[in-house]
Structure 1
């Protein structure tokens, strides 16, 4: 029979477990956002759903960049290298050898992870501005190789459309199921990245970012963790790039996977959201993508100047972005979180005060 003391101990243990997994307000907001993504097809037309699918893949790119550049001292300006390796590998295997996209994507992940290793090893020797410039070179070299061997890689026009990951009866149904596939991929990439960065490994990443000498002095090898971060990040980028190339909104072209403007947008989205948080760049990626879409499609003529806003939308957009970077350097998400915590504390204290009175 269970004694009273044993029963009390079990209740205390259960209570501690419940408290340890209790959700904060931001978790509820995250769950609502996830449910919103799942329910989106119910209230979006096919064209908007395709735009949302593009946003999902953009956010995957942002998360893969933040995993390595936000948590270690390896600021990468060349992540498009991994997007392109992933996308072109899978598409070439499909077009030239008839290999299914699913197998091609697995091969792409392995190849981009290996590319991450080859990327990380020489990068360990350098740091600062030299490292930033070094990371920029591989995608530039790759773009020239695509032009030199245009008979293989299609040059600036890219490769023909490959087989889709999912193809259903009509285009609307195909778009719907490919959208849900992208949502699932985003959930997996986000969850795995979030768990790792909140683990002991993630804490070591942050310690390396702050003071790698102190990490080495504690008996840990910073190089080992930096290599892991780069390889894992490259694998995520390869997964996203390969899936994107086999989606209704993507293709294996330099304009969608390799151009310098892509990494600039990714950096801006991550910084706006809050680098080194995973959640922040995820939020920043969606905000950045849809702000770009809305500003580019805004039909409005500027008074006095009599100029359609669509002609200068990028100028205005980047000026606003510049202002946010100047006045909110931490990013939008950390500031919103601080305001939310402050509001929650005030609300909790008020409720407790009312209850006490």
Structure 2
């Protein structure tokens, strides 16, 4: 596979991780977060600053960044016990805006709008290639992107497996019940507060982990544009809704597809007749128009629609094979 494609796929995998972390709390419990980039930013900036300023190793920095994002999840989770709907959404929306201002207040340490220099790589690529070569792994690892693709893929699959297990367990059932009727869950004797805080904490932790790992790869950098700007949160929400909220699989796959579709539109030099502009010039207008059409015709998202379609086709096939009396 070409190096450029692998680099794109690596970045797309991280977007899928961000989307899964959002879906875990908002898709399952119904606690809408419009500023989920705060967790990506806290994890990413913490890991980067620790490496650049204190010389802490990337792995230890990622661990600390992950913990910091998890603590942020707890802090945000407690207001969720009292607030719902737009009020909770407003709090989560303001949080990354505040973080952007903090980054700009301390440009010497946090880099300001320009961002920080790239920290050390997550893994020593040359050593990894040497080890793989000694065990007979036939490959042409001439570029670090290849190694980091496998790192991103492993992290993506690990996060997916973790969320999949949790959401298919009794915890996922309680999350869904909270989304459908919180009062009914509370009246059954279940501690709703505990599960809501847990959802935000785990979502923040995983989002922070992905953000911290992201800045230590060639496809990411510790900057507000890639981690904290509201557009990052908006993209994650759009991806999750398009894929299918409350499914984990939908946002994970949609995150990868979204990245490639967006990149294809942005780099297209095709001229649109009558308008006399290139597709790349109005790429975001075209993309969001396409997203609106999908949401209009498939309000539940693409994955639930495919599941319903498969069930319908299976029922038709069963009806056709049943003997008529």
Shift of 1:218: 0.3
Cα distance in 2 for residues equivalent to 1:165 and 1:280: 28
1:89 is the counterpart of 2:42: no
Of 291, 295, 306, 1:321 maps to 291
Cα distance in 1 for residues equivalent to 2:210 and 2:322: 47
Of 229, 240, 249, 1:270 maps to 240
Q: Secondary structure at the match of 2:29?
A: coil
Of 129, 154, 159, 1:184 maps to 154
State the match for 1:19 in structure 2.
none
Deviations 1:335-356 (A, max 9, x none): 1111122223444555676xx9
Cα distance in 2 for residues equivalent to 1:85 and 1:178: 22
- Count of matched residue pairs: 312
1:175 is the counterpart of 2:145: yes
1:333 is the counterpart of 2:296: no
1:245 is the counterpart of 2:215: yes
State the match for 2:65 in structure 1.
108
State the match for 2:252 in structure 1.
282
TM-score normalised by the chain length of structure 1: 0.84
Cα distance in 1 for residues equivalent to 2:148 and 2:210: 13
Cα distance in 1 for residues equivalent to 2:56 and 2:321: 61
State the match for 1:207 in structure 2.
177
State the match for 2:205 in structure 1.
235
Asked if structure 2 preserves the Cα contact closer than 8 Å seen for 1:167 and 1:174, the reply is no
Of 198, 203, 219, 2:189 maps to 219
Shift of 1:304: 2.4
Q: Secondary structure at the match of 2:220?
A: coil
Cα distance in 2 for residues equivalent to 1:212 and 1:148: 41
Q: Which runs of 5+ in 1 are unaligned?
A: 1-43
Cα distance in 1 for residues equivalent to 2:156 and 2:142: 21
Q: Larger deviation: 47-56 or 305-314?
A: 305-314
Deviations 1:147-198 (A, max 9, x none): 0111110100111110011232498432111110100000010011011011
Asked if structure 1 preserves the Cα contact closer than 8 Å seen for 2:79 and 2:88, the reply is no
Cα distance in 2 for residues equivalent to 1:347 and 1:164: 53
Deviations 1:266-292 (A, max 9, x none): 111100011011111112212211110
1:80 is the counterpart of 2:37: yes
The 1:352/1:299 distance shift into structure 2, 3 A limit, reads farther
Of 300, 304, 311, 2:274 maps to 304
Q: Secondary structure at the match of 1:70?
A: helix
Cα distance in 2 for residues equivalent to 1:349 and 1:183: 41
For residues 20-31 of structure 1, the aligned pairs below 5 Å read none
Cα distance in 1 for residues equivalent to 2:225 and 2:242: 23
Determine which structure has more spread, i.e. the larger CA radius of gyration.
1
Q: Secondary structure at the match of 1:71?
A: helix
TM-score normalised by the chain length of structure 2: 0.92
Cα distance in 2 for residues equivalent to 1:282 and 1:351: 36
Cα distance in 1 for residues equivalent to 2:151 and 2:49: 21
Cα distance in 2 for residues equivalent to 1:344 and 1:180: 36
For residues 36-47 of structure 1, the aligned pairs below 5 Å read 44-47=1-4
Deviations 1:29-54 (A, max 9, x none): xxxxxxxxxxxxxxx21111101000
Asked if structure 2 preserves the Cα contact closer than 8 Å seen for 1:283 and 1:333, the reply is no
Cα distance in 1 for residues equivalent to 2:142 and 2:93: 39
For residues 191-202 of structure 1, the aligned pairs below 5 Å read 191-202=161-172
Cα distance in 1 for residues equivalent to 2:17 and 2:207: 7
Cα distance in 2 for residues equivalent to 1:352 and 1:243: 54
Cα distance in 1 for residues equivalent to 2:200 and 2:80: 10
